[in-house]
Structure 1
Amino acid sequence: MRNPLVSAVILTVAFGLTACDASKTPFAKKNPNKKVIGVVDESNLNDIMLTVADPNEAVSYFQGALEKEPDRLQFQRGLAASLVRAKRATEALHIYKKIIAHDDSTHDDTVNYADALIRSNKWKEAETQLNKVPPTVETYKRYRLEAMVADSQKKWKKSDSFYETAIGLTTQPASVLNNWGYSKMTRGQFSAAEELFLEAISYNPALFTAKNNLVLARGSQRNYTLPLIKMSQEERAQLLYTLGLTAIKKGDKAIGRGLFEDAVETHPRHFEAAVRSLEALG
């Protein structure tokens, strides 16, 4: 479905261009070699496509732009980033290869390429790209990716250091705190993970992934009570279900059954997954 804001912007640009012949304006007559910019300039439209636009719509936009100007680095970056947003990172890889080979490529391009490689499960290649970035390039994204690569290699001291650095480089650390908590959970450090998930939720109370990970960490310690955090009725049902699954995995079948029943009763609609789990328990 087309984003209403994007549609309005495109319509405004189209109207502005058709309402008058841009080539006949006083500016155009005095500056025949310069392009006349419409109501919303190209740069702003690119920014809109990279942020609020539907990702697949943005892909189509930048593909169309590249058909007209195939060597334009700005459009190549836009297409690659849009493909990543659209969860089509593998398709973005060959574009990033062209970008980093360009004379005007930057260290940010290399970091973005590493991001796409990680999303494509190409960890070794991602590490190779990150190693090309000088240590003087200290950005949130770079260190978040460094932490993830270190996690994949179980280099826990390095990953902890990278996570801590990344958190210090952003004002919105919820997602990286959640990642760090998950890293701690995979190591069996459930109490430490619980603290990180709570901190993530304090920065972003709407981050359900952190809420779900939090109850996983608690359930792994056989704490089957819900934490005192803000949640909707549907979220409460989902979290009860997660706790139930954790209890079953721990061998606490009776507790798991009770949690599934609570989840079914709590959910504002029919909770098919919880119902199936109850049926499977017999």
Structure 2
Amino acid sequence: MKKIGVFPLFEKPEAARVARKLIHLLAQAGFQVVMEEESAARLDAAELGCRKEDLPAQLDYGVVLGGDGALLSLARRLYPWEIPIFGINLGHLGFLTEVEDKELESAVEKLRRGEFVVENRIMVNAEVTSAGKQRACLVGLNDIVISKGLFSRMLRLELLIDGFFTGMLAADGLIVATPTGSTAYSLSAGGPIVSPQLSALVLTPICAHSLFNRPLVVDSNAVIEIKFTAPPHEVLLTADGQECLGLEAEDGIKIYTAPHRTKFIRFKEKSFYHILREKVKEGKL
């Protein structure tokens, strides 16, 4: 019996209703449903509860109820187990989420029959070191961002790729995005749209005040090193805009493709370019 984890985003008003419907459909289809204990309690289904730290190692699949942000969060939560996941869209954009509420029955039946494909998406990793010791590590499906605080001056950074000096950057920050994240923050900062099938990282400066103000696409095997050339007042390192770490002047940052990937379950025969065209037509990009 396949075991599937259900992860509702309860901030969405309809999440509880859709979660109960989904749990019923999955049980009818022969899946064993498990949830984090807190979520199970909120649905009066304590028998489905499992300790958060024990849950990922048990799962065959994962499904999140929410929007793209919820799917990003689940991808990081299940890292590095590489569990195939999909999202039920309860949000607005739905660029990453696969299924709408009205498509639940069809999606569960396709999952039962194995009528889906699994799409691999690279993730990006950031290591922060101080005095030669690693003090933090963040992973993102969309991007890793270095940005100045609200009242800080521009950042002055030295950029090295694969150990080679690439340039100096004076800007409000720097986005290192995966192809998945190329349609998110990086795009709004002037970066290119990159097919998710490519293995590459996109470096996009934020409000650059220097000649190095163009996006740069590098191979996914590249190692990007960033150092501060002037003491920053307030600097943040964020993963997918959801996890945040304050940086210090002496910190060194190393960014590279994460060793494990996110696996998306795809039920529909829609290409990335079809989805892109639809979202642009709807004015959502």
TM-score when normalising by structure 1: 0.24
Q: Which has the higher contact order (CA 8 A, sep 6+)?
A: 2
Between Structure 1 and Structure 2, the one with more helix by share is 1
Which has the larger share of strand?
2
